[in-house]
Amino acid sequence: MDPKITKADEEIQKIISKKRLKSVEDRRVGSEIFDEQTLKTLYKLANHGYLTVLNGAISTGKEANVLKGIHEDDSRVDSFVAVKIYRIATSDFKKMQYYIQGDPRFNVKSNNKRQLITSWVNKEYRNLLRAHEVDVNVPKPIIAMNNVLLLEFIGDDLGNPAQTVKNQPPIDVDEFLNKLLIEMNKFINEANLVHGDLSTFNILNKDEKPVIIDVSQSVVRDHPIANDLLIRDINTIFKEFKKMGASADLEEIKAALNLDIDLTT
């Protein structure tokens, strides 16, 4: 297991000890992930019935940690959810402003870090919803609140999360790439979005099917930087899958995506 995830797991257990979230609010926490505002947000989500227990880390990064949550319904049947918590202390606010500026869906003028992160979380929620509505294989968003995003858990019934393509390469690379190109086609041409950071780190391998994740930086097609991001995404996917043995060339990928674009720009 990734040592960063192991460390995050240890921090979570120190804080919640797999107890109900209602017991968390009164705990004194020094973690930059679980600051007072984040704990209040988690507590509110628990009170509204979205979340019952936090139970371990799925992934960890500089800007956000993804945790495994458990939701218990009225019949006391447990189901898993993914809980993405953006970290106020270490987020790259210049990058966030770069991707938000020019997006007609958002009018963020404040330099307040917490407000910017709230807008960033809402941006990821809306991007996921937009993609999900046209049947792109992405995690279904559940709710966004402050710096916390709840979304569909991608994994097995035992709570084991699906791995990224980087960590779990596909068995049949060409077949997997073809499936990915179908999802990218819908993402680009039906959801009218450009991912902006697409790579094997941001694609899950769920039973040999691709699931596109981490769409907070994704922009609409008419965004001023959309074309540059699209070219970068396509070239990245081509290079990374080529290393894994894919046979498709750039022109075949471009054709599969129904794009008329100069990839050398």
How many angstroms separate the CA atoms of 48 and 25, rounded? 15
Q: Is the pLDDT of residue 17 over 90?
A: no
Strands 203-206 and 148-152, by their bridges, are: unpaired
CA end-to-end distance (rounded Å), the chain:
39
Q: What pLDDT, on a 0 to 100 scale, did the predictor assign at position 230? A: 95
Q: Which residue has the higher pLDDT, 239 or 22?
A: 239
| Cα 45 off chain centre by | 19
Q: What pLDDT, on a 0 to 100 scale, did the predictor assign at position 136? A: 98
pLDDT band at 213 (very low <50, low <70, confident <90, very high): very high
According to CATH, the superfamily of the domain at 163-256 is Transferase(Phosphotransferase) domain 1 (1.10.510.10)
Q: Which residue has the higher pLDDT, 12 or 138?
A: 138
Residues facing 78 on adjacent strands: 72
Q: Is the pLDDT of residue 64 over 70?
A: yes
Q: What pLDDT, on a 0 to 100 scale, did the predictor assign at position 73? A: 67
Q: Is the pLDDT of residue 96 over 90?
A: no
How many angstroms separate the CA atoms of 18 and 27, rounded? 13
**pTM for this prediction:** 0.84
CATH architecture of 3-152: 2-Layer Sandwich (3.30)
pLDDT tens digits, 240-265 = 999 999 999 999 999 999 988 777 65
Q: Is the pLDDT of residue 19 over 50?
A: no
Distances (CA, A) of 99 to 6, 192, 221: 31, 16, 13
User: What is the percent of the chain where pLDDT is above 70?
Assistant: 77
| Domain residue spans of the chain | 3-152, 163-256
pLDDT tens digits, 127-172 = 999 999 999 999 999 999 999 999 999 999 989 999 999 999 999 9
Q: What number is the average pLDDT over the span 100-104?
A: 69
HSE-up (13 A, CA, CB side) for residue 94: 0
How many angstroms separate the CA atoms of 42 and 24, rounded? 9
Q: What number is the average pLDDT over the span 218-229?
A: 91
How many angstroms separate the CA atoms of 154 and 147, rounded? 21
Q: What is the mean pLDDT of the chain?
A: 83
How many angstroms separate the CA atoms of 55 and 18, rounded? 6
Helix axes 113-133, 93-100, angle to 10 degrees: 50
Cβ–Cβ under 8 Å, residues 149 and 125 = yes
The single residue listed with the structure tokens 């094997």 is 200
Q: What number is the average pLDDT over the span 26-44?
A: 68
Q: What number is the average pLDDT over the span 54-63?
A: 82
Q: What pLDDT, on a 0 to 100 scale, did the predictor assign at position 18? A: 42
Q: Is the pLDDT of residue 77 over 50?
A: yes
Distances (CA, A) of 26 to 35, 57, 96: 12, 22, 32
| Cα 140 off chain centre by | 10
How many angstroms separate the CA atoms of 121 and 117, rounded? 6
Which residues are tagged catalytic? 197, 214
Q: Is the pLDDT of residue 26 over 50?
A: no
Q: Which regions of 61-206 does DSSP assign to beta strands (E)?
A: 64-72, 78-86, 141-145, 148-152, 163-164, 193-194, 203-206
Q: What pLDDT, on a 0 to 100 scale, did the predictor assign at position 177? A: 98
Q: Is the pLDDT of residue 94 over 80?
A: no
The token duo for 40 is 């209040």
How many angstroms separate the CA atoms of 77 and 54, rounded? 16
Q: Is the pLDDT of residue 86 over 80?
A: yes
